[in-house]
Amino acid sequence: MAMAVGPSSGDDDEVMSAINTTPLVDVMLVLLIIFLITIPVVTTSIPVSLPKERVEIRETKPENIIISVDKSGRIYWYDARVSDVEGLVTKLKTVSRVKPQPEVQIRGDLAASYEGVGKILYACQRAGITKVAFITEPPPLGG
């Protein structure tokens, strides 16, 4: 029995044509482990449809009702201050009988607490108003 220990010829300048794939396999296994660890972090267990931000051009119609809340929580019907929520409900009940029903647009100050806006929404619900919209400023360009 004979065993070949080196090249059969004395020429040491032959080009080796085999590719070493061990480093490639190592890198692929590391990437696979990274993906297996990060995928459960990205996905959550409860499917929720999140709201998307969009800027919508709205036409101001004369029949729309504009109710504002300042940062102190005071409620205004156009420019006139409403003394209490019951007065607001009374005004909204007269508006809710109009066919077609106008849209109530709520303008809330950025520094206002949610309580003032919540009072308006509850008054709209009690009066039977079906169209309620929130008026906001669009985000700054490039920001």
Binned at pLDDT 50, 70 and 90, residue 5 comes out as low
Given pLDDT bands bounded at 50, 70 and 90, which one contains residue 123?
A: very high
Tens digit of each residue's pLDDT (9 = 90 or more) over 28-52 = 999 999 888 877 665 655 565 655 5
On whether residue 89 sits in a domain, the answer given is yes
Residue 111 · residue 140 · CB < 8 Å: no
Total domains present in the chain: 1
pTM to 2 decimal places: 0.57
Residues spanned by the domain of 91 = 65-134
Residue 5 lies in a domain: no
Strands of the 80-82 sheet, one edge to the other: 80-82, 75-77, 65-69, 104-108, 132-134
Instruction: Tell me if 43 is assigned to some domain.
Output: no
Residue 7 lies in a domain: no
CATH number of the structural domain spanning residue 98: 3.30.420.270
Tens-place pLDDT, residues 12-30: 667 777 888 888 899 999 9
Q: Return the pLDDT at 126.
A: 92
Residue 59 falls within a domain, yes or no?
no
40 prior amide bond cis, ω within 30: no
Residue 81 inside a domain? The answer is yes
Distance separating alpha carbons of residues 58 and 54, to the nearest angstrom: 12
